[in-house]
Amino acid sequence: MRMKIASVIVDVPTKQTDKTFDYLIPDQWIDTIQPGMRVVVPFGPRKIQGFVTGIKIHSEFQKLREIVEPMDLEPVLNHELLELGNWLTEKTLCFKIFAFQVMLPAALKAKYEKSVELANGVKTSDLPGQLQTFFKSNSKINWEEALKSGIVPLLQREASKGHLEVLYEVKEKMKKKQLKFVSPLLSITELQDELDRLPARAEKQKEVLNFFVQNYKPVELRQLLVDLSISSATVKALVEKNFLIEQDREVYRDPYENRTFERTSPLPLTDSQQKAIQPILNSIEQKQHEVFLLYGVTGSGKTEVYLQSIREVIEKGQEAIVLVPEIALTPQMVNRFKGRFGDLVAVLHSGLSSGEKYDEWRKIQRKEVKVVVGARSAIFAPFENLGIIIIDEEHETSYKQEEMPRYHARDVAIERAKTYNCPVVLGSATPSLESFARAQKKVYQLLSLPSRMNNQSLPSVEIIDMREELRSGNRSMFSSKLFDMLKERIERKEQSVLFLNKRGHSSFVMCRDCGYVVNCPNCDISLTFHSKAGQMKCHYCGYESFVPKHCPECSSEYIRYFGTGTQKVEEELGKILPEARVIRMDVDTTGRKGAHERLLKDFQDGKADILLGTQMIAKGLDFPNITLVGVLSADTMLHLPDFRSSEKTFQLLTQVSGRAGRHELPGEVIIQTYTPEHYSVELAGTQDYDLFYSKEMMVRKSHHYPPFYYLSLITVSHEQLMAAVATTEKITAYIRSRVSDETVVLGPAASPIPRINNRYRYQCLIKYKREPDLPMTLKTILDQYQKDTASGLQVSIDINPFILM
């Protein structure tokens, strides 16, 4: 019996199509098409992309349509990732097609052109005769041509031997990077003979042949021309004589190609590092899945523990995934991994072009690398022999994806690690409450690095009450203490970092007479002032407008923007400390590629006294000359409608403080705040995570929040207020009827941002400890309301939400 039927998930994200469709595999593809490949299938009148999830003998359906063609020669999703896709679908209630797509680099989702080419180092003569003719005149052949000529099965066989390779070229911009190479077509002795035979006046040609006798290998043409100072005509002449051959060769777009990485070797571990690493090594050794929480202050040597664990994994022939928050994926961070493991490291982050990302992904797919360091989506790296997964700064909320599939990288990591029987290491100086609680309950194994390397003391932290400053007549955004200390650093030629907590600190426009705040007409949220353009902008819908000259409410002229953007701080610094050289890092100054890195480099090279920035400077900075960190206002995040706001404030302040005094020079930290009595500010001041943990746990317990309860959030939106309310009411009632008494169902309530882009938003929040049937209930709701999408109703469900707005 031949396996003639393929089950396919098609690229149509709707409720009705969220299942496999059976297609007939045309005879010529029967041995070609495998699970995990992308295929083109007819769907209604169209041809669309799909993922083959299985191959079988029978279908319960009678009339099946045929697959048009395969899009891959080898599966892009292996068995494990296909299974993971099913798991993702179930856990996050997303469409299957989204689960598969999220695991692949964007280049594989886009429109593309396909071709097949000889793998590097493979000669035409290595191929079977029938194919040789195709590759004789061309180093690659177009996929369309291959289909027409009926040679795809042959190509596939050669591809599995590693002789050929399929290229996906996105039509617009995604091209594989090609360079012209020249290689000898004759053996060394033959070259030598020809060299002797060439007339003496062919001096340049002789030089080239001599070069290849000395260096018998392909050389990049441009480089050759420069090195031998010859013209391309010289090379051409030799190519025409069939001595040499010119070929296009793929080179990876390597974002780090112009950089050399100083190789580092493992450091002898300290006693506490040794104690921390041993259980991890045991888990690797015994192939026993375990989740470790590596809890250690910044500078306590966590990264060294990661590096040495990875080394063990590589030595066993296995692979490692390291997740780092996007904003911490600094060149410094990359250096530490590339420095230790060199070319075995691939890096995936959003700063790469889609071509670069695709090339890095291919290195993983082809097993050319052993380690991937990347942001959230790197958790789907297509390794097949994982030995460890590390999540640094595990408390970071950016590990949760806020669109379908709404997954948390930590959950995916644990799921994959279970499959491979390998450890997961979660590292943090300020673990999330969820993770620390699990460690307390021994679900995770707690490993601690209690002190900084060389027992450097943590920087001393001083909290400044800005209300007092105001009372004593200081209206500036700098307390007198911070001002004095900044001045002192400049005199001592030391560096300072000034941190502005941008989130929740948008500069809004307000009337000083009546307090009127300019809101977006489409969304119930204040507009943010951008001084560069002199405009106000809505961050949710993109609405823009100029600042009114008079208050629309009371006609007062005193309508101004408030809040301290980085620009404004820079201006003020210019006034009060004109001698200070300032580097500003925010979205405006780091927009262009490489800008982020250049600014940091300048700061490292001592080209500035003060580094001023937002969140993005909070992580990863490790410069010896930083002896002062100033937080301009600590409490801007505290007042967000988010039960994690205290936790986030504490984490951020602790993180920022950790930037000072990491080396010989002692560090000092100044935290300015309007609420010095708040425990998250106060305890960040004493860097007391344990106390913060127990206080915050009490708050969470009494308010029925995680980690005591799980949350699920349903958000309903509609252009008509009443429709949104009525649907949310129905959903809330339905849920109440299906859950236990212990479960809290809140709603219907207006969302904290009650309107976005003219759509009204209502929500229902479920807090529960144990509701085994809830996923089913939620799925029923989604199924039910999916049908109403046409009428403008949107229902979205976020399980374990991180943003409650």
Which residues contribute to the site for ligand ADP (CB under 6 A)?
267-270, 273, 296, 298-304, 453
Judged by beta carbon distances under 5 to 8 A according to partner kind, the member of Zn ion, ligand ADP, none in contact with residue 244 is none
Tell the smallest beta-carbon distance from residue 550 to Zn ion (Å). Answer: 8
Closest to Zn ion by CB, 54 vs 548, is 548
Residue 553 makes contact with Zn ion by CB under 5 A: yes
Closest distance between Zn ion and the C-beta of residue 715, in Å? 17
> Between residue 330 and residue 389, which ones bind Zn ion under the rule CB under 5 A?
none
Plot region of 215 (φ>0 → left; ψ -120 to 50 → alpha; else → beta): beta
Residues 6+ apart with CB under 8 A from 600: 330, 331, 332, 585, 621
Does residue 509 interact with Zn ion by CB under 5 A? no
Residue 528: phi and psi, rounded to 5, are -100, 135
Residue whose token pair is 């904290």:
752
Beta bridge mates, 292:
425, 445
**768 lies in the site for Zn ion, by CB under 5 A:** no
Amino acid at 494: E
541 known member of a binding site: yes
In the complex, minimum distance from the CB of residue 492 to Zn ion, in angstroms, rounded to a whole number = 47
The response to whether 94 counts as a known ligand-binding position is: no
Cα 677 to chain centroid distance, Å, stands at 36
Interatomic CA distance for residues 616 and 596, integer angstroms: 9
Helix/strand/coil for 45: coil
When CB distances are held under 5 to 8 angstroms depending on the partner's kind, the choice from ligand ADP, Zn ion, none that residue 541 binds is Zn ion
The entry of ligand ADP, Zn ion, none that residue 565 binds, CB within 5 to 8 Å by partner kind: none
Residue 551 binds Zn ion, judged by CB under 5 A: yes
N-term to C-term CA, the chain = 55
543 binds Zn ion (CB under 5 A): yes
The residue (of 298 and 430) whose beta carbon lies closer to ligand ADP is 298
Contact 287, 259 (CB under 8 A): no
Q: Can residue 753 be called a binding residue for Zn ion (CB under 5 A)?
A: no
Does 523 count as an annotated binding residue?
yes
Q: Using the rule CB under 5 A, give the single segment among 131-139, 222-230, 313-321, 514-522 that binds Zn ion.
A: 514-522
Secondary structure tally for the chain: helices H, strands E? 24, 33
CB of 54 closer than 8 Å to CB of 19: no
Asked if 529 and 508 touch (Cβ cutoff 8 Å), the reply is yes
Give 491: exposed, middle or buried? Use CB within 10 Å, 0-12, 13-18, 19+: exposed
554 assigned ligand-binding residue: yes
- As beta bridge partners, residue 423 has 290
Tell the burial category of 381 from Cβ atoms under 10 Å away from its Cβ (0-12, 13-18, 19+). Answer: buried
Cβ distance to ligand ADP smaller for residue 303 or 318: 303
Residue 221's binding partner out of ligand ADP, Zn ion, none, with CB under 5 to 8 Å set by partner kind: none
For ligand ADP, the closer CB: 360 or 393: 393
Choose the contact partner of 511 out of ligand ADP, Zn ion, none; CB within 5 to 8 A by kind: Zn ion
Q: Other CB atoms closer than 10 Å to residue 590's CB: what's the count?
A: 21
Q: Is 518 in the site for Zn ion (CB under 5 A)?
A: no
Bridge partners of 710, per DSSP, are: 768
How far apart CA 562 and CA 507 sit, in angstroms, is 5
Task: Between 273 and 496, name the residue whose CB sits nearer to ligand ADP.
Answer: 273
520 binds, among Zn ion, ligand ADP, none (CB under 5 to 8 A by kind): Zn ion
Q: Is the CB of 551 or the CB of 713 nearer to Zn ion?
A: 551
Which is it for strands 46-56 and 5-10: parallel, antiparallel or unpaired? antiparallel
> Can you tell me which of 448, 460, 522, 794 binds Zn ion, judged by CB under 5 A?
522
Q: Indicate which of ligand ADP, Zn ion, none lies near residue 304 (CB less than 5 to 8 Å, by partner kind).
A: ligand ADP
Residue 783: half-sphere exposure toward Cβ, Cα within 13 Å? 10
Q: Considering the complex, what minimum distance in angstroms separates the CB of residue 303 from ligand ADP?
A: 3
Q: Give dist(CA 768, CA 304) in Å, integer.
A: 39
Minimum distance from residue 280 beta carbon to ligand ADP (Å): 14
- Residues of the binding site: 511, 514, 520, 523, 538, 541, 551, 554
Note the residues at the interface with Zn ion (CB under 5 A). Answer: 511, 513-514, 516, 520, 522-523, 538, 540-541, 543, 551, 553-554, 556
Binding residues for Zn(2+): 511, 514, 520, 523, 538, 541, 551, 554
